[in-house]
Amino acid sequence: MEHTLETNFELSLPPEAVFDFFSDASNLQRITPPELEIKILTPEPILMQRDTVIEYRLKLLGVPYGWTTHISGWQPPICFVDEQTRGPFKKWVHLHAFEPTEKGTRVRDVVTYRLRFPPFGQMVQPLVHAHLKRIFAYRQKAIVAELAKAD
């Protein structure tokens, strides 16, 4: 069964500046909660574009995982999509969208995911969803703080 997590928030910067921040893979470590212990394994600098593949190591709920994502969609400065090709989820597709507003940019994240190991995956889905919401709430605060430095 597929699940969706959608979040959005607004920044007082133009979409081009926000897209530039998100398209720098090294920023991921600064906006990810410390308990995930994310480490980018792909040598930097990473040229972000369609078909870029990035490898990470992280912990989810305390369990270490390798995670590989593929940039499957790339439309600067409107959006990009990363898809997990290896990792803890059966499916993970993450749309990052940047919509111009009167005040700047609305950042919208839409994650479509599917858990492994049915029916156990379905039993723990509420816990996973709550954990993802906490991660994205942390991420939002960190992004606002990081981009306030550049503003």
HSE-CB of 19 using CA atoms within 13 angstroms: 18
Q: State the Cα–Cα distance between residues 86 and 48, nearest whole angstrom.
A: 18
How many domains would you assign to the chain?
1
**For residue range 24-46, what is the model confidence (pLDDT) as tens digits?**
999 999 999 999 999 999 999 99
Domain that holds residue 12: 2-150
**For residue range 42-89, what is the model confidence (pLDDT) as tens digits?**
999 999 999 999 999 999 778 899 999 999 999 999 999 999 999 999
Classify 64 as helix, strand or coil.
Answer: strand
Alpha helix (H) ranges present in the chain? 15-22, 120-150
Q: State the Cα–Cα distance between residues 2 and 133, nearest whole angstrom.
A: 16
Edge-to-edge strand order for the sheet containing 63-75? 2-11, 105-114, 91-100, 79-86, 63-75, 53-60, 39-40
**For residue range 98-147, what is the model confidence (pLDDT) as tens digits?**
999 999 999 999 999 999 988 877 888 999 999 999 999 999 999 999 99
pLDDT on residue 151: 60
CATH number reported for the structural domain that contains residue 61 in this entry: 3.30.530.20
Name the more confident of 96 and 61. Answer: 96
Residue 107, C-beta contacts closer than 8 angstroms, at least 6 positions apart: 8, 9, 10, 11, 18, 96, 97, 98, 140, 143
Angle between helices 15-22 and 120-150 (to 10 degrees): 120
25, exposed or middle or buried, with CB in 10 Å at 0-12, 13-18, 19+? buried
